[in-house]
């Protein structure tokens, strides 16, 4: 294989996209920028300490970082990376754009788009891979006044040439992509933007990325031994609560053991992993009342849709979203809140490992930090469920990595 191409992962989270790039075999990380110490610990453990996936520069501490501080403190070092970085991957946090949230246009997190563009102009990678929620393409409404469509804004800014000599900007193109059409057991639609630096574009178009990833997916998934469409059962039926032990790390909790593999998807993600105990497969301690409520919901509620007003009133449920899932279909988009969903055949919520399977993380990938958090800490901490819920599915990341390599290599 030829020398691996170099990339930087921005807003890297726990490393979902970096894991996909690693699994492709064609890419080597330079460094990753992630603000949360919790999420960075997971990325660090799996891809820095255990797999030596990053050639981390001496000038940047190997720690969690805020992108604005990196830009402010290391502009000279970032400029020196020009013509040495093939790809900058990753997109800013999505909460301010998400239709699942309040969609506040002046949310400070939306300003990270400006930071992202500054970073791109400093480093000038050959290609850009940018991901964000569907709401990124939708207009904000401010008291009936048409607000900014951020997908249009970022494309316009990336197309611009800058004051830097010989830098002409990027040819860019974006589409909404449903990951369930690429082997992921989850209907998760995201905005994907690809940019190719104008001076190297020549006969290449960023639209080629979307044509190639669609035309390549059947062969890719076939080589992986899995189908184009994966279901929830395909993902987690070997993790049912059949055999369990006292948790070695949490004395008041039980953890599940592996059951026999039931699908090719499970075989792919488990890989050659030995040992009976999956990482982060700790069961929640539901009360008997909660379990009875879940049993009723599983028996009478429509699957893959939030429960009816009647059921909410029956059990005095205040939560906006409670969705019993269908094992025979991909799940709806999973969020950072595990109690939004009821397991397809057991009266409980998902474990962290089941969440990771739905997002296509390999079983060897271990998660660090708290399982959940609440109250004021929700804005400060990124526990394991949130790390996974925020991630790009690594299996889609791997497919993207192969196509991006193909675009540059050609």
Long-range pairs of 201-208 with CB within 8 A, sequence gap ≥ 24: 201/171, 204/407, 204/410, 205/171, 205/173, 206/170, 206/171, 206/172, 206/173, 207/173, 208/407
Question: CB-hemisphere CA count at 13 Å for 184?
Answer: 31
- Report how far residue 126's alpha carbon sits from residue 120's, in angstroms, rounded to the nearest whole number: 10
Tokens of 222: 């076939």
Name the residue among 101, 107, 184 with its Cα closest to residue 388.
Answer: 184
Q: How far apart, in whole angstroms, are the C-alpha atoms of residue 255 and residue 277?
A: 8
Cα gap 118→276, rounded to integer Å? 47
Give the E-state strand segments of 66-224 in sequence order. Answer: 87-89, 127-133, 141-142, 145-146, 170-178, 186-187, 189-197
Query: Are 90 and 58 within 8 A, CB to CB?
Result: no
Tokens of 240: 């049912």
The yes-or-no answer on residue 94 being catalytic is yes
Catalytic residue among 94, 172, 301, 352: 94
Whole-number Å distance between alpha carbons of 7 and 27 = 7
State the alpha helices, DSSP H only, in 225-324: 232-236, 264-270, 288-300, 309-314
CA atoms of 400 and 89, how far apart (whole Å): 10
- What is the token pair recorded at 338? 């595990």
Q: What is the DSSP letter of 74?
A: -
Please, what sign has the CA dihedral across residues 93, 323, 393, 46? Answer: positive
User: How far is 239 from 260, CA to CA, in rounded Å?
Assistant: 9
Q: Tell me the catalytic residues.
A: 94
């Amino acid at each position: 294989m030829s020398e691996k191409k170099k990339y930087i992962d921005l807003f890297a989270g726990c490393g979902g996209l970096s894991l996909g790039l690693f699994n492709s075999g064609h890419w080597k990380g330079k460094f990753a920028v992630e603000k949360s110490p919790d999420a960075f610990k997971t990325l660090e453990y799996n891809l820095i300490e255990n797999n030596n996936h990053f050639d981390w520069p001496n000038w940047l501490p190997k720690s969690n970082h805020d992108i604005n501080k990196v830009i402010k403190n290391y502009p000279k070092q970032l400029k020196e990376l020009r013509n040495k970085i093939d790809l900058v991957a990753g997109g800013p946090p999505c909460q301010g754009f998400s239709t699942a949230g309040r969609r506040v246009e002046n949310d400070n997190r939306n300003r990270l788009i400006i930071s992202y563009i500054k970073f791109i102009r400093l480093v000038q990678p050959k290609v850009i891979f940018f991901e964000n929620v569907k709401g990124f393409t939708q207009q904000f409404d401010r008291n009936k006044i048409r607000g900014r469509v951020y997908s249009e804004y970022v494309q316009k800014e990336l197309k611009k040439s800058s004051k830097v000599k010989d830098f002409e900007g990027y040819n860019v193109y974006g589409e909404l992509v449903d990951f369930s059409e690429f082997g992921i057991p989850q209907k998760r639609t995201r905005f994907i933007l690809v940019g190719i630096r104008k001076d190297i574009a020549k006969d290449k178009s960023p639209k080629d990325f979307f044509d190639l990833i669609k035309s390549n997916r059947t062969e890719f998934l076939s080589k992986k031994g899995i189908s184009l469409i994966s279901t929830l059962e395909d993902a987690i039926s070997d993790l049912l609560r059949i055999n369990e032990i006292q948790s070695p790390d949490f004395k008041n909790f039980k953890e599940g053991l592996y059951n026999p593999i039931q699908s090719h998807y499970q075989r792919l993600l488990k890989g050659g992993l030995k040992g009976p105990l999956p990482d982060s497969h700790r069961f929640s301690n539901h009360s008997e009342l909660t379990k009875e409520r879940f049993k009723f919901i599983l028996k009478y509620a429509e699957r893959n849709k939030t429960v009816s007003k009647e059921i909410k009133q029956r059990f005095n449920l205040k939560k906006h979203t409670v969705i019993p899932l269908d094992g025979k279909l991909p799940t709806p988009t999973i969020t950072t809140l595990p109690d939004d969903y009821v397991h397809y055949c057991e009266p409980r919520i998902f474990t962290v490992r089941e969440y990771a399977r739905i997002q296509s993380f390999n079983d060897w990938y271990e998660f660090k930090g708290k399982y959940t958090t609440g109250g004021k800490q929700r804005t400060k901490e990124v526990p394991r469920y949130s790390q996974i819920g925020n991630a790009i599915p690594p299996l889609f990341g791997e497919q993207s990595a192969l196509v991006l390599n193909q675009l540059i290599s050609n």
